[in-house]
Structure formats: C-alpha cells, structure tokens
A and B are shown apart, each in its own frame.
Chain A
Amino acid sequence: MLPPTPAQTVGPFFGYALPFPQDDELVPPGRADAIRLHGDVLDGSGAGVPDALLELWQAAPDGTVPQEPGSLRRDGWTFTGWGRASTDDAGHYSFTTLRPGATEPGAAPFFLVTVFARGLMNRLFTRAYLPDDADALAADRLLATVAADRRDTLIAAAEPTGYRFDVRLQGEDETVFLAYPGE
C-alpha cells in the first residue's frame, strides 16, 4: 500500500477559487420538490466560522447514486447529487437540494457533509441523517455505534422547508466526525 499524500488546510483564500455559480443550488430554489439544508458552522467558543466551505454529496430521492456530470455548469435540470456552500460572515451555510432517498430498503437516508476551513488541517466528514424515519434510524449500523448522548449531532432537524444541521467543530456538543478505513 502506497502511503497517502498528506492533507493541508484549505486556508483563507479559497473563496475566489473553489466556489462556482449555483454551487449550493443542486436544484433551482423555485422547484416544487426543492428543500433547504442549512445551518451554522461553529468553533469551540460558539462563534460562527465565516471562512468554512461545506460539500454535500447525496443520493437522489429514489435512492440512486447520481453519476451525471454537470455540477460545475448547472443546467437546472440534471441532479448531480453534489454541491458546495461557503459560510457567510456569520458562519451560516445553505443548500437548495432534494430529499435523499434510502439507498436500500429500510436504510436511513443521510446527506454526507464534508467540512473545510481555515484552521482545519484536514477535511472532516460527517453524516446528516434525515430525522423522519425513527425505525430506520434505530436500525442504522453507524448510529448504533455512536454513544447515545452524541447521536443527535448526526441527525438533522426537520423544518417546514427542509432540514437544519449545525456543525460544531469543537466543544461540549461537538459534532461526531467520521474516519474511514485506510485513513
């Protein structure tokens, strides 16, 4: 096995390079089945992180994994399942997207959220589960391995227009971040 190339922080100056038009609009906001996934990225003092970048990767509503190009040049019709959102000056991010479906019968649907920021030496992965199907959440393999008092950090809150998911980088209610084999 070849040793991996190490990560380095995204730094403070990605803002003119990584964002692109409609990066946070996986579907146009006016679409009937569009939902919002949004929240704050907070540091260890509870302050919003104004220079974070989040990436969203998710299944389509029917549970299939999108494999269509076109994320960087959105045509308004193709659902690519991937997007990018920069936090604003208060540390808030917002995606317009579709509700992800279960990728297999009975599975708990989730968004995969990746966090980059100045001050963060490597990206952080987390899952934002949909809160709607209690049975699926109770049966989820990953959630079952997370301490009960931290499980809620992985579950988005339902709202009339979609879901809210805050990311806490540090502290009491620190979000559960994930490490995969081979890291």
Chain B
Amino acid sequence: MTTIDTNPNAAQRTQAEMSAEMAEQTAAYERAGVEETQPRLDYAPYRSSLLRHPTKDLHHADPESIELWSPCFGERDVHPLESDLTIQHGGEPIGERMVVTGRVVDGDGRPVRRQLVEIWQANAGGRYVHKRDQHPAPLDPSFTGVGRCLTDDDGTYRFTTIKPGPYPWKNHRNAWRPAHIHFSLFGTDFTQRLVTQMYFPGDPLFALDPIYQSIRDAKARDRLVATYDHDVTTHEWATGYRWDIVLSGSHPTPLEEDH
C-alpha cells in the first residue's frame, strides 16, 4: 500500500523515526517472502519518491525494433584521459587516490563490449560541483568528479579518482548519505539501461540510508558494494577497488553471427 505523506515537517523527522520506518519495510519484505532484486519505486522513507513513483503496475512489453539495440559510442565520443578524474585540472586533488575497475556483463556473464560508462561523485570532503549542493564543505579546485570511459573487449572499465566523502542531505534530520560513486551504463539492448550507485565496504551509514535501503533484499544491496582489491592497488600510488556490474537479462546477438 502506498501512503502519500507530503507533510512539510517530514524533514524534521529524526533518524530514529526513519530507521523505524525502514525496519517496518524490512519486516514486510521478510513476511512477503518474494525475492526482490531491484529497489522499490514506492519506498516512503525516501521522501522525494512520494510524488514521483508510478502507482500503477509497469506494463509488460516484448522488446522490439530499437529496444533490441543500443546507441553506439566510440573513440569519437570519449577520450581515454576522461577516465582519470585526477588530471582534469592543474593540481592533484585532495583525498585518497583510488582506482575503481570491474567488468560489465549481461545476465549470461557475457561481456558488454565497447559501451559507454559514465560516473560522477562528490569530492573527498563530500561536496559536489553543483549549484544545488549547498553543503558547506570545501570545493576542490583540482577536482570536478565527472568521468567517462568505454568498456574494452572484455567488458572491463577502469577509472582513477579520489575516494568520495559522505555528505548530509535533507531527507530527515541529520540524514547522511554513505560515500558513493554514481554510475550510468548502457547494455547491448536499450532495455538494459542502468543508473546506479557504487558504495564502499563496511560503511557505517548503510543501515541509516533510505536510498540504499530502498533495495529491501540484503543480498541485492551487497551487489552495490565494491571490494577492496590489493591486486588493483598500485605501489606508492593508489588504492584499488573492484566492482563488477551485471545488466539485466539475457540478450542473444544473432546479428553478430549473421555477419
């Protein structure tokens, strides 16, 4: 059931009240006993979702024509240096330099080759270069926090960046987002389009965050958490994290075989 609560004082709710609401959601999920792999569109603890989620069921469609294709990106679109977020200005950005890498695959484990990956993130102080971010943490003149790359023939992407900081938001009183990097991904079919967020292992804010908890299944939530990987860490340069991404569904590519 959906409750539309547009109470302007909602932002004054405490974390304890919010955590109780999230615990109710978890209990309801466990009672229902039906596995969910995606976030709920109607997750009331995330206040901004209240008036912005569809209340009718999504309509089943069999993909056809353009839905079975994705736009094509290439060297013309993305320069290789766009994958290094630490060299976009004159100086070295403040913070923990890190490499994040992984593979983009489909539901059958096949690599998603030569496709666009876009990321954006806060700086080490938890501040975005965005006019609507008024969090009084310092901007870093050496860091914008936007990167792009194309996956290689193995589906691998790789970015060099700075570990983002957690930051406050106005969902409720004393609300803080766990540190994260936004990811935007394309598959081989447009229906695989994914925008999501990557998190860091062991973040103490996970249990308190309505956006992370909108994925009610604990195993599914874990799929958004990168792994520290010492083989990705480089000597006297950067720490390393690995995060693999699975796009929905199984998508045969008969046209490739026709060629």
Report A's interface with B, CB cutoff 8 A.
Answer: 1-18, 43-45, 47, 49, 51, 55, 57-59, 65-73, 80-82, 103-104, 107, 112, 114, 116-125, 127, 141-142, 145-146, 169-171, 174-183
Contact = CB atoms under 8 A, between A and B. Distances in A.
Contacts of B184: 10, 18
Interface in B141-196: 144-146, 148, 180, 182, 184, 190-191, 193-196
Interface of B: 4, 6, 37-41, 43, 46, 48-56, 58-67, 69-78, 105, 107-109, 116, 118-120, 122, 128-130, 132-133, 144-146, 148, 180, 182, 184, 190-191, 193-197, 211-212, 214-215, 219-221, 223-224, 245-250
B59 A121 contact: no
6 contacts: A5-B196, A5-B247, A13-B182, A69-B73, A120-B53, A123-B193
A107 B39 contact: no
A6 B76 CA distance: 30
Contacts, number: 247
A16 B78 contact: no
A155 B82 CA distance: 39
Contacts of A146: 59
Given A5-B223, A7-B39, A16 B77 contact: no
Contact of A121 (B40, B107, B132, B133): B40
A72 to B, nearest CB: 4
A13 B52 contact: no
B220 A107 contact: no
B195 A123 contact: yes
Contacts of A174: 54-56
B128 to A, nearest CB: 4
Nearest to B4: A44
A51 B52 CA distance: 11
A69 B77 contact: yes
B39 A8 contact: yes
Contact of A6 (B190, B193, B215): B215
Residue with the highest number of chain A CB atoms closer than 10 Å, among B118, B133, B184? B184
B59 A177 contact: yes
Given A8-B197, A18-B184, A57-B190, A141 B52 contact: no
Contact of B247 (A4, A73, A118): A4
B66 A80 contact: no
Nearest to B69: A65
Nearest to A112: B66
Contacts of A6: 37-39, 196, 215, 220-221, 223-224
Given A12-B133, A182-B249, 9 more contacts: A5-B245, A6-B221, A8-B182, A13-B120, A43-B52, A44-B4, A45-B51, A145-B59, A179-B59
Contacts of A112: 66-67, 190
B49 to A, nearest CB: 5
A111 to B, nearest CB: 9
Contacts of B43: 121
B69 A71 contact: no
A119 B46 contact: yes
A120 B120 contact: no
Contacts of B66: 57-59, 65, 81, 103, 112
Nearest to B2: A170
A130 to B, nearest CB: 13
Contacts of B74: 69-70
